[in-house]
């Protein structure tokens, strides 16, 4: 399901979002408009939060999550910034000042950041994206549109850790009831806040920060994942699950298309709703149904893609647009660009996983074991076996 979700995100960005942002790229043989992959990634993430948070200390659990997600993100931001800066300026025919600071972080020589649809970022944009505060002000630029998931996930992980370690709501005899109330609150409260308290057209900075800074527009996806986990453990009935998942689909629709709530006028709206609903059913089947043995021959490839999916997600969008533009300038048609950009995204994701994500996670989460100092015999026992217990070797049990 993670592979399916990531591929839907990548193909949707290449064939649909890319041409929307840069109309000259609108010559692909297909156009995948359904937008549900990122939400399904959050559903799966929430499911495994429930699966793993009960094992050991929550502080250690949170640290392992952060160690997995943050280092590749920071590297992806830096790489994307410098590639965007050089490539977008070249697409626009722009240059930079003579000093190294102006070349790396300053505005273009003409002072125009939006000379075309290819935005030339500056040092402030790099700082905003490294600190993950893009969702807190409408004026902040996302270097890559996919980055929005990381701060939302980290906030949800931190909230889950606090709820599990600091409250007794989910350890009491009424834990399942408390969890169900929480899920409905995660689904309905953001809708009330966004469409009733805040209002869709509210331009106030505080309103933008409330909805997008705290990720309220995506909490329903995490609620769906927790609900699937409860149902798979027979702690939620099937009718209750169906009702909550239907509410999650409705919330997804309203949050994605708040200006088209009367009729499905957006061509991506209906495919997105159907795709999200079907994917939720598949998640339920994977969580509680029989094993999908028909996929066994493809298991090695699926496992490999799942293992690099986070890296693919981080590097495919803005860098993919830039690669598509460069290939177009080289005369490569859309039907040939599509597999090239997709293959490049997979290759870049593999490199980020192999060179950054896995080594950084291993280094940050491996306990530091210090070897004990060598034992020396007292002067009066030189040449004799010293008394006392033998030293414990590094890595042994004590």
In which band, very low, low, confident or very high, does the pLDDT at 259 lie, cut at 50, 70 and 90? Answer: low
Most confident range, picked from 25-29, 78-82, 173-177, 190-194:
78-82
Bridge partner list, 81: none
Instruction: Decide if pLDDT at 260 tops 70.
Output: no
Residues 338-350 have a mean pLDDT of: 97
First and final C-alpha spacing in the chain: 42
Nearest to 253 by CA among 237, 242, 241, 265: 265
Which of 114-118, 216-220, 367-371 bottoms out in mean pLDDT, i.e. has the lowest? 367-371
Percent of the chain beyond pLDDT 90? 73
Residues 352-367 have a mean pLDDT of: 95
Instruction: Decide if pLDDT at 34 tops 70.
Output: yes
Nearest to 238 by CA among 294, 281, 297: 281
What span, in angstroms and rounded, lies between the C-alpha atoms of 31 and 173?
A: 50
pLDDT for the residue 369: 66
Sign of the Cα pseudo-torsion (323, 325, 328, 334, in order): positive
Instruction: Decide if pLDDT at 99 tops 60.
Output: yes
More confident residue, 274 or 203: 274
More confident residue, 25 or 262: 25
* DSSP type of residue 223: H
Instruction: Decide if pLDDT at 355 tops 50.
Output: yes
Instruction: Decide if pLDDT at 246 tops 90.
Output: yes
pLDDT digits (tens, 9 = 90+) for 368-395: 766 555 555 444 333 333 334 333 333 3
Q: Residue 82's CB: how many other CB atoms inside 10 A?
A: 13
What is the residue whose two structure tokens read 């156009």?
31
What is the residue whose two structure tokens read 């200006």?
259
Nearest to 146 by CA among 262, 334, 311: 311
DSSP reduced 3-state for 267: coil
What is the residue whose two structure tokens read 């414990």?
392
Contact 36, 42 (CB under 8 A): no
Instruction: Decide if pLDDT at 312 tops 90.
Output: yes
Residues 250-261 have a mean pLDDT of: 80
pLDDT digits (tens, 9 = 90+) for 37-67: 999 999 999 999 999 988 778 899 999 999 9
pLDDT for the residue 385: 37
Buried b (16+ CB within 10 A) or exposed e, 123-158: eebbebbeebebbbeeeeeebbebbbbbbbbbebbe
Residues 97-118 have a mean pLDDT of: 93
What is the residue whose two structure tokens read 């070349």?
103
Please give the C-alpha separations between residue 54 and each of 20, 34, 43, 61, 145, in angstroms, as whole numbers. Answer: 43, 35, 18, 9, 33
Residues 132-155 have a mean pLDDT of: 94
What span, in angstroms and rounded, lies between the C-alpha atoms of 41 and 280?
A: 11
């Amino acid at each position: 399901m993670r592979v399916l979700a990531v591929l839907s995100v990548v193909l949707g960005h290449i064939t649909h979002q890319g041409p929307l942002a840069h109309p000259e790229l609108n010559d692909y043989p297909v156009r995948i408009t359904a937008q549900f992959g990122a939400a399904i990634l959050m559903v799966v993430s929430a499911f495994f939060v429930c699966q793993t948070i009960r094992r050991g200390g929550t502080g250690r659990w949170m640290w392992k999550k952060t160690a997995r997600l943050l280092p590749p993100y920071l590297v992806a931001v830096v790489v994307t910034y410098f590639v965007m800066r050089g490539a977008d300026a070249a697409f626009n025919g722009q240059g930079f000042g003579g000093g190294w600071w102006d070349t790396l972080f300053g505005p273009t020589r003409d002072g125009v950041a939006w000379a075309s649809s290819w935005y030339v970022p500056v040092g402030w944009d790099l700082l905003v994206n490294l600190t993950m505060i893009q969702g807190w002000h409408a004026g902040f630029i996302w270097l890559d549109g996919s980055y929005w998931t990381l701060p939302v996930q980290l906030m949800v992980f931190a909230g889950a850790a606090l709820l599990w370690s600091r409250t007794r709501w989910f350890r009491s005899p009424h834990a399942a009831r408390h969890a169900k109330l929480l899920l409905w609150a995660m689904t309905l409260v953001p809708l009330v806040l966004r469409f009733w308290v805040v209002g869709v057209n509210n331009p106030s900075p505080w309103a933008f920060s409330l909805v997008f800074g705290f990720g309220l527009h995506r909490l329903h996806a995490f609620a769906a994942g927790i609900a699937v986990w409860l149902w798979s453990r027979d702690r939620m009935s099937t009718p209750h699950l169906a009702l909550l998942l239907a509410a999650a689909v409705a919330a997804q629709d309203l949050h994605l298309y708040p200006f088209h709530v009367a009729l499905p006028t957006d061509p991506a709206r209906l495919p997105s709703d159907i795709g999200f609903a079907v994917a939720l059913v598949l998640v339920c089947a994977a969580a509680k149904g029989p094993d999908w043995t028909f996929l066994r021959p493809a298991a090695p490839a699926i496992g490999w893609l799942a293992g690099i999916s986070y890296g693919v997600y981080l590097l495919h969008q803005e860098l993919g647009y830039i690669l598509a533009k460069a290939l177009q300038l080289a005369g490569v048609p859309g039907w040939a660009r599509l597999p090239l950009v997709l293959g490049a995204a997979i290759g870049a994701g593999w490199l980020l996983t192999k060179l950054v994500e896995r080594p950084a996670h291993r280094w940050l989460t491996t306990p530091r074991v210090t070897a004990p100092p060598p034992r020396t015999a007292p002067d009066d026992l030189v040449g004799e076996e010293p008394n006392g217990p033998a030293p414990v070797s590094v890595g042994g049990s004590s």
